[in-house]
Structure 1
Amino acid sequence: MRKEEIRSRIKARKAMLTDAERQSAADAVFAVLENSVAFMLADNILLYHSLPDELSTRAFIEKWHDRKNFFLPRVHGVNLEVLPYNRSSLRLGAFQIEEPQGDDVRDISSIELIVVPGVAYDRCGNRVGRGKGFYDRLLASTHATKVGVGYDFQLVDDIDSEPHDVVMDLVVTEHEIIRVRRR
């Protein structure tokens, strides 16, 4: 299926979710994540600060921010920078996403686990993003474990991947954990 068709279908499906369904899904996905070996072993974790149509990371960040070193991305031109999470330093940035402020930009090599938002995933770990390539550029330069998270319906049969697309190591939805075997 073409990426634009996937984006359109998933957007329509997300629009039908109730607040209770959104919360229940986020709780289920992040409960699985926090019990994963990848999360337990990681000290430095890059998360996304969720948009309204994404699985909410807010409760998860609040629960763990004093026990793990969380980092958030910040848009810088066509790339993402990595900065430490500090609730008091967040400001609305690019695309109306809360981003950390300041000059404490970290090298991606210090990150051990990255929780990656996506529009859709397939069972081979391929991901459809929003189409700007921010995460693919960032993920291409790291060996960190990459975990895609989403609703069950964001798992699709087959994604037409491109050479620049970065494959996830794990994909977690409410009812599935997919461990991707590297080719």
Structure 2
Amino acid sequence: MQFSDKASLRQQILSQRPQSSEGLFANLVRIAMEFEAKAIASYAPLNTEPDVSDFNDWVLATGRTLCLPRIIGAEIEFAIGQTEPGAFSIPEPVGDAIDPSAIDLIMVPALAVDAQGNRLGKGKGYYDRALTSISCPKFAVIFDSEYFENLPHEDHDQAVDGAISPSAINYFARPEIL
């Protein structure tokens, strides 16, 4: 399935959310273990997004560093600590910011991803800007129905190295990372 209009694709995907996140936790843990990640950037899920809450709890319970995004102006930075409602009423950490080079693995929320690693976000570009300065493995977190053969993308869109859904882990060609 190909789409040329990002806005209509976003609307279609959002109309099919939420879906089951059953199985997602195991796949997220598998990737974290595979990359031996000690500092993991994740996100505080909205009720329409794939639920990474149990994974975030696991990161903390196993002594790893959990970094969550917070919005500063037009940018995202990753930080640690307790959360409070922030921009768009999304929980954001109130602790210290983390240098992006200290992050070993990042779980990126996405509406969809394609077989080339093109990620469709919500359209504001926060993650595209943030991912330019992060060199660790980047995995889009999606529901099972949100993996496509091709998605529309633009030059500023940042590709991911893989996609994780409740039933699958997909890797894309980035030999320097994988």
Q: 1:176 offset after TM fit, Å? A: 2.3
Partner of 2:90: 97
Confirm or deny: 8 A CA contact 1:39 1:113 kept in the other structure.
no
Corresponding residue SS for 1:65: helix
> What residue ranges of structure 1 are gaps of 5+ in the alignment?
none
1:13-40 Cα distance to aligned partner (Å, 9 max, x none):
115x4xxxx3xx2x41220121136655
Q: 1:157 offset after TM fit, Å? A: 2.7
Corresponding residue SS for 1:41: coil
Confirm or deny: 8 A CA contact 2:40 2:65 kept in the other structure.
yes
Query: Would you say how many aligned residue pairs link Structure 1 and Structure 2?
Result: 171
Confirm or deny: 8 A CA contact 1:48 1:73 kept in the other structure.
yes
Partner of 2:103: 111
Q: Does 1:70 align with 2:66?
A: yes
Partner of 1:128: 120
Partner of 1:160: 152
Partner of 1:177: 169
Confirm or deny: 8 A CA contact 2:111 2:120 kept in the other structure.
yes
1:136-170 Cα distance to aligned partner (Å, 9 max, x none):
11101111100111111111231111111111111
Q: TM-score, normalised by structure 1?
A: 0.87
Identify the range of structure 1 (129-138 vs 157-166) with the bigger mean alpha-carbon deviation: 157-166
Q: TM-score, normalised by structure 2?
A: 0.89
Select 1:5's aligned residue among 5, 8, 12.
8
Q: Note the aligned Cα RMSD (angstroms).
A: 1.7
Select 2:78's aligned residue among 58, 62, 82.
82
1:26-81 Cα distance to aligned partner (Å, 9 max, x none):
x4122012113665511011001101100112111122313211110100000011
Supply the AA of the counterpart residue of 1:10.
I
Select 1:34's aligned residue among 23, 29, 35.
29
Cα 1:162–1:111, aligned 2, differ >3 Å: closer, same or farther? same
Richer in helix (by share): 1
Confirm or deny: 8 A CA contact 2:27 2:168 kept in the other structure.
no
Corresponding residue SS for 1:124: coil
Distance 2:88 2:145 in 1: 24
Distance 1:4 1:38 in 2: 36
Partner of 2:54: 59
Identify the range of structure 1 (28-37 vs 67-76) with the bigger mean alpha-carbon deviation: 28-37
> What residue ranges of structure 2 are gaps of 5+ in the alignment?
none
